[in-house]
Amino acid sequence: MRTLLSIISLTLAAVLLVCFSNDALAQQGRTPGYDLEFAQFLRTQGERLTPSVVAIETRFTRFILEDGQEREIMVAGDFSTGFVYNDEGIIVTDFKTIEHPPSTYFARTSGFGSTQADYILVRFDDGRQYEAEVVGLDKPTSLAVLRILYTDPGELIPIPFGTSEDVIVGEPVLFLGYDYLTRTRINYHFGVISALRPKFPSLDDSVNQYFQVNMPQHPGNQGGIVVNSQGGVIAVMTSTKPYPNATEIHFALPMDQIQEVVDSIIDTGEVHRPWIGFRLLEMNPQIERAYSILEDMSGDGLVTNVDRDLYQAETGIDLRECLFVIYVDEDSPGADIGLLEADLLMEFNGTPVHDITELRNELDRYRIGDVVTLEWMRREYAVWDPYIGEMTIEYSGQRDEEEEEE
């Protein structure tokens, strides 16, 4: 009996000691067992995904003059990471590796010819190497879709797709990618989703949404995969950065967008995006003066919000709650409904517009072929008249394709 009581006492003492130790660690800001769990996570996820991550090397053809004769040479291009998209040989990597010409003496001083890589090598972690061809490129998302040549589809292991919808700020992630120095060895980096960036119309004219990821990055990591704690690939690191010299903060394109782009390129060779056929600017004092829309109504020598308030009271138009039509493409959806330069767009399918980014986000909710209603104002003989029309969303080049079919 005494022996049993001693065992129970020792067990309780051990439990209390563990609880006390855990409380002490928690007070110090450390999670019990974190180091072990972290190492296990890196090892298991990294080993499982390594066969699906590849290194990409490119070569470009250039011409130089030698003794008065033009000679063709092959110039080393860029290096990046890529991944296996499906078991049919589709590889996805960064756009600039395939399209961006190498920054070398020959590239600066001789003819460029095509800026697309003439030779693409895909190398796996186990040493296998294959030549690849370009299926399609998409600059707005900085994605390149390749197809491996001369390989058995059964040898390829596609990455496991995760969902981008449930990603939250503060979520830990694992990054797998090659870098320019090691080249033959995959690096594992641990990082965190530090922000869910809104869509950026100013980054290479991109309107894509990004995850902001805090983690080390090296040349060659672009095209690498971002993995969540469940082992699903939720994003791909792009060459897009918040500022040129960023080394710890980078943008990753969500997997949901990647799948849409890649599937479209596989099916049609390109990505069809909504096209409305007119360009807009947010209202500003330069436009107001250049088009004689607003003047100094208050008499204080400046054009301010006071003048805009007076203008709204006089005309019923709040110049801060509309977008200015600066250009309308000929033979476009915008031209079909009668939009003209200097019109003021007030509503897009029932939604008031005053910010271009918000309008682009709104436009992304619709698909090609959808019909939307636009409301705008036009000034004629110093009087603003309202207009309304229905417009069908198309994609750029759709009308040319339809003419060729006819």
Please report, in tens digits, the pLDDT of each residue of the chain (406 residues total): 555 445 445 444 444 444 544 454 444 444 445 567 766 777 788 889 999 999 999 988 777 777 777 777 777 778 899 999 998 899 999 988 888 655 444 444 445 545 788 889 999 998 899 999 999 998 888 899 999 987 776 789 999 998 888 888 888 888 999 988 777 788 888 889 988 875 554 444 455 678 888 888 788 888 999 998 888 999 999 876 666 676 778 889 999 889 989 998 998 888 888 889 899 998 888 888 888 888 766 666 677 788 888 888 888 888 888 999 999 998 899 999 999 999 999 999 998 888 887 787 777 778 889 999 999 999 988 889 999 999 999 887 777 777 666 6
Q: Is 9 helix (H, G, I), strand (E, B) or coil?
A: helix
With contact defined as beta carbons under 8 Å apart, do 391 and 276 qualify?
yes
Virtual torsion, Cα 15, 18, 24, 28, nearest 10 deg: -150
- For the chain, give every residue range classified as CATH 2.40.10.10: 49-155, 172-268
Position 244 scores a pLDDT of 65
Which among 149, 144, 147 has a CA at the least distance from the CA of 97? Answer: 144
Which among 390, 341, 395 has a CA at the least distance from the CA of 368? Answer: 395
Position 55 scores a pLDDT of 94
**Distances in Å between the alpha carbon of 94 and those of 80, 120, 141, 216, 250?**
7, 13, 9, 18, 14
The DSSP call for residue 102 is: P
With contact defined as beta carbons under 8 Å apart, do 234 and 242 qualify?
no
The Cα–Cα gap between 207 and 200 comes to: 5
- Tokens in use for 234? 């939720």
Task: Count how many residues are written for the chain.
Answer: 406
- For the chain, give every residue range classified as CATH 2.30.42.10: 274-405
Q: Tokens 């990603």 belong to which residue? A: 167
36's CB contacts (< 8 A; 6+ apart) are none
Burial environment of residue 79 by CB neighbours within 10 A (0 to 12, 13 to 18, 19 or more): buried
Angle at 256 between CA 253 and CA 258, to 5 degrees: 55
Position 198 scores a pLDDT of 59
Look at the domain 172-268 and name its fold: Thrombin, subunit H (2.40.10)
Look at the domain 49-155 and name its fold: Thrombin, subunit H (2.40.10)
Position 297 scores a pLDDT of 65
Chain-centroid distance, C-alpha 363: 17
The Cα–Cα gap between 33 and 177 comes to: 27
Which among 199, 181, 186 has a CA at the least distance from the CA of 251? Answer: 199
- Tell me the sheet residues that pair with 115: none
Q: What is the CATH number of domain 274-405?
A: 2.30.42.10
Angle at 395 between CA 391 and CA 397, to 5 degrees: 120
Angle at 181 between CA 179 and CA 182, to 5 degrees: 75
With contact defined as beta carbons under 8 Å apart, do 324 and 283 qualify?
yes
The Cα–Cα gap between 120 and 57 comes to: 6
E strands, 139-232, where?
143-148, 172-177, 187-197, 210-214, 225-227
The Cα–Cα gap between 279 and 396 comes to: 14
Chain-centroid distance, C-alpha 347: 27
- Tokens in use for 328? 């309308």
- Determine the residue type at 232: G
